[in-house]
């Protein structure tokens, strides 16, 4: 068994859609990034790649490559899942946290889990997504950005 952890952060900005866990969340701002800037999926991908010792998302999907401009992170997550499978790894579980002052995530978490499970072709009960605020502290607490952390467990098939 192997454990991996991932972390990602993106700045909030106007004129962008807020996409987290592959879900469009109505909000006045979105995350700035080369792809759709989905911090939740980025943290999950980094935890999976890290557990398998396969580098990170920057190695596999560099922001210098125009083919990833605006791409859905669900498509990138699918590729990470396929890479794990090619390397004979199976996902045991994923536990992830979204860190954001606003908007409220609770109404969207079940849909996020469903999309992640479908993309990785694993059971929903192998995925946990939760959200927290930082009580107004730091860049997430002031509403400047959103962060996410993920930890996963994988095993050889």
Which residues does the annotation place in the binding site?
8-10, 34-35, 42, 56-58, 61-65, 100-106, 132-135, 139
Spatial distance between the Cα atoms of 97 and 150, rounded to a whole number of angstroms: 6
- For tokens 């694993």, the residue is 122
Both tokens assigned to 97: 């946290």
Full DSSP string of 67-120: GGTT--HHHHHHHHHHHHHHTTEEEEEEEEEEE-SSS--GGGHHHHHHHHHHHH
Phi (first) and psi of residue 112, to 5 degrees: -60, -50
Sole residue written with tokens 């943290």: 43
Binding residues for a divalent metal cation: 8, 10, 42
Residue 31 β-bridge partners:
12
């Amino acid at each position: 068994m192997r454990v991996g952890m991932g972390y990602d952060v993106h700045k909030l900005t106007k004129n962008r859609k807020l996409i987290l866990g592959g879900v469009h969340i109505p909000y006045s701002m979105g995350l700035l990034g080369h792809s759709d800037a989905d911090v939740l999926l980025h943290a999950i991908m980094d935890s999976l790649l890290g557990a398998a010792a396969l580098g990170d998302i920057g190695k596999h999907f560099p922001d210098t490559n125009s083919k990833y401009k605006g791409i859905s992170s669900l498509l990138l997550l699918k590729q990470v899942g396929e890479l794990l499978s090619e390397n004979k790894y199976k996902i045991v579980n994923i536990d992830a946290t979204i860190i954001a002052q606003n908007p409220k995530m609770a109404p969207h978490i079940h849909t996020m889990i469903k999309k992640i499970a479908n993309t990785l072709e694993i059971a929903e009960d192998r995925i946990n997504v939760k959200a927290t605020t930082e009580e107004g502290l730091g860049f997430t607490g002031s509403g400047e950005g959103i962060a996410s952390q993920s930890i996963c467990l994988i095993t050889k098939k």
